[in-house]
Amino acid sequence: MTAATPAPLPSAPPGAPPAERFRRAYYARAETDYYFDGLGMVIFLTIITCGIYGFYVTYQLVRRSRDHNRRRLELLDSATEIAWQQAYERGISEELRPNFERIAIYLGVLRQMTTDFRDPGIWVALAVLSGSYFISIAEVVAFVLLDGDLIRHDQAEGAAEAELAAVFARLGQSVPAPDPARVKGKQNYAGRIVATFFTCTIYGLWGTYNQMDDMNKHFLSNWPWEDALARAVQALAPVE
């Protein structure tokens, strides 16, 4: 499993300028956006260890979902603050106020998600206590929650990205609009749960694969947009 470059930096201190907050959130990508390489090998290791390696996978799945959401909230929030400052200085803040108000609503969804019960250590403990050969009851529940989290997260951040793209365009910076088709569809949870238990949890391996692959694809759609936003932010509020 690998994480995305660029290299990590410590979290920004409280009260840091928005440009510094943005920079640190951007460079924290390597710490949060864990990309699973060799998905087939991960499943193979889970099988030959009788599901033990799967607990490690579950830990990483829950952790990266939680940490990615927190980082993206900080990234988008600081970029919004920078854009508002620029709009105010140029005398166009009232013109763009509806965009900023909509962004606040979308970021509110991401902020609310940070309060959800997504502690990876506790979820692994629950998985161990409810363990089965390939996948536990707790892991099935966790995968259902993670799938819903990804959909809700992507819808909110994609909407915020679209608004930010329009705002930065008005500020003279090119940031592409996100592709709305990137938001994945909801899984058939009932069908997957039934299939998992009727196959003595073997089908759960496919669910594990989906969880790894879906978030991998999410990262691949996020990173180029983030890079474009970083260039726009650097142009407007350079950090030495």
pLDDT of residue 7: 39
Cβ–Cβ under 8 Å, residues 147 and 212: no
pLDDT of residue 52: 86
Place of tokens 């951040």: 157
> Does the predicted model carry a pTM greater than 0.75?
yes
pLDDT of residue 170: 98
Q: Taking the C-alpha atoms of 78, 82, 84 and 86 in order, what is their torsion angle to the nearest 10 degrees?
A: 180
Domain residue ranges of the chain, discontinuous segments joined by +: 2-236
Measure the CA–CA gap between 16 and 37, rounded to whole angstroms: 35
Measure the CA–CA gap between 190 and 196, rounded to whole angstroms: 10
- φ, ψ of residue 14 to 5 degrees: the values are -55, 140
pLDDT of residue 116: 94
**Ordered per-residue pLDDT tens for the chain, 240 residues:** 454 544 344 455 557 899 999 999 999 999 999 999 999 998 898 888 878 898 999 999 999 999 999 999 999 999 999 999 999 999 999 999 999 999 999 999 999 999 999 999 999 999 888 876 667 888 888 999 999 999 999 999 999 999 999 999 999 999 999 988 889 998 888 888 887 777 767 778 888 999 999 999 999 999 999 999 999 999 998 765
pLDDT of residue 6: 40
